[in-house]
Amino acid sequence: MSFPTTSRFQSSHYLTSNATGHNYSRHYTGSSGAYSNLNRYPASGTGSAGRANFNNTTTTYGSSYQPNYSHNPITKVPVVTATRGLMPSNSRPTYRLPPDPPSISRNLDPLHNSKPLPSTPPPAYKDAIASSPASTLTAAATISSKTEESPSSTKIGTFDISQRHRGGRVGLSNLGNTCYMNCIVQCLSHTKPLLELVLDCKDDQGLPDNGPVSGPFKRLLKELWSPDPVSSYARPSELRVSMGRYAQRFSGYGQQDAGEFMRFLLEALHEDSKRNKSTGRNKYSRIQPIDFEELDKLSDLEKSKLLWERYISVDSSPIIDIFVGQLKSTLECCHCGHKTTTFDPFWDLSLSIPRGRSTDLQSCLKLFTSRETLEGDEMPTCEKCKARRKCDKSFSLYRLPKILVVNLLRFTREGFRTKLDTLVDYPFDLDLTPFVDAESRQANKFGTRYSLYGVSEHSGTTLSGHYTATVRHAYDRNKWMAFNDTRVSNSTAEAAVSSLGYVLFYEAVDSSAQTNGSVASEREP
């Protein structure tokens, strides 16, 4: 099936909410959103994977806000979050540049304020931000670690694995509404595959020391994991400034959304550590355009493999190996029964929360993978009927990542901004078998079982709130800790499950493989 590309659908990417409380983010979820981009040559100087990511991201901010993402090429494959949407899966839209954003402080500062907003930034940050364009990311954007020395700064040598149980217990100071950053950094700090890229891998195999964002991130994690820190907390000053240069929204002192910060941070780390650094026409000219008619003749397993290989041929990185999976989208014509399937990479799952006093994660996943009917203005054109027809659309997980990040969509818009405090009972041991496509269940290298190890929590309302984290120690599985900015305390696994849970971090139980969750066998199961 195909869908006529119209400006109406290209511009309808913002969160809407229906009467039942289900959130929908209208976005591209098919080959157009990730793979057909590879058939285009880069446009010069404009565009963004980040903007595509923003379109696919449910945001806690007003729909009038659109960020400026001039730092990335328009043809870069989008970093996407898998959000249940209404956009037909295999439409082929084109990118349009958004206008410059309005004042971030005017629109965003009232959200989740954990501390009074300073009237002016501290001098060190003010000078650093003013010294370069906030919307441009260059190698020169690397901030010296001496800009503002952290209280826990210490000479970091080799991290003896026998001493690692002593690390990972250092807090982070709040630099002014930066609790959204602190909670995500603490969760990523205890993401073992990512942590080992920092502590164990050589520079050319893991995260580079000189990356505009990866450098500050590595130095900060090494402070957090020092077995003998000189202070109980570190200052994430360098990372905050670097992320502000990578994405303008993080350059100020307004509170931001933790889930969105995580996506931008992972994208920045990915950009810094990409294995093929070539840019421009040469990179794209090596990739043959997709013949979609021939593609539809392949089995789902063959199609998935082909599109995945095309994706990583451009965007391969250690971050991809850890966090990215693949989603299958199916469209079935209600008139003739004709089916089409597409496959897209996803970096996290954004799940709507059903209305009610309580629910569980399995119910959220069932809602995400359930069938929905596209009718009226949403009807696509059936390739067999040669006419616009009502059709059913469904999602299923196809390739599973080593680390699965789940974003619970607690923020809705129903005339005004609201937050859902529904208790979502998310299990410590998560079995994704019912939600994985039957054809690929036995072929996923990492299996279908996951274990919870980190939770980013949000307390308060959309007007005033605070982010914290509850995390299991990366090298002591029986040790849980609560991170509240500079304060670190012992916690329990039971405390990790509450109505405050917002971003959930799961690791594959069978994560011994060294590559991303690719299908282990090329033959059909």
- Which among 179, 187, 333, 391 is annotated as catalytic? 179
In this structure, what are the phi and psi dihedrals at residue 108, rounded to the nearest 5 degrees? -110, -25
Contact between 291 and 35 (Cβ < 8 Å):
no
* 45: region left, alpha or beta (phi > 0 left; psi from -120 to 50 alpha): left
Provide DSSP, 134-177.
TT---GGGPPPTTSS--TT--------GGGGGG-S--EE--SSS
* Alpha helix segments (H runs only) across 273-349: 281-285, 292-295, 300-315, 318-323
Q: Cβ contacts of residue 442 below 8 Å, gap of 6+?
A: 525
- Bridge-based pairing of strands 403-409 and 381-382 is unpaired
Q: Check the CA dihedral 444-454-22-178 and report its sign.
A: negative
**HEC secondary structure over 330-342:** EEEECCCCCEEEE
Contact between 67 and 57 (Cβ < 8 Å):
no
- Rounded to whole angstroms, how far apart are CA atoms 408 and 90? 26
Burial 193-204 (b: 16+ CB within 10 A, else e): bbbbbbbeeeee
User: What's the CA angle centered on 66, arms 25 and 251, to 5 degrees?
Assistant: 120
* 165 among known catalytic residues: no
The structure tokens listed for 486 are 């500079």
- Rounded to whole angstroms, how far apart are CA atoms 356 and 377? 30
Contact between 239 and 213 (Cβ < 8 Å):
yes
* 385 among known catalytic residues: no
Contact between 243 and 135 (Cβ < 8 Å):
no
Which amino acid type is present at position 43? A
- Rounded to whole angstroms, how far apart are CA atoms 389 and 254? 46
- Rounded to whole angstroms, how far apart are CA atoms 519 and 504? 24
**Which one-letter DSSP state was computed for residue 61?**
S
Write the CA distances from 401 to 52, 295, 322, 450, integer angstroms: 21, 24, 6, 10
- Rounded to whole angstroms, how far apart are CA atoms 485 and 295? 50
Of the CA atoms within 13 Å of residue 44, those in its CB half-sphere come to 0
Extended strands (E) in 29-92: 81-83
Catalytic residues: 179, 466
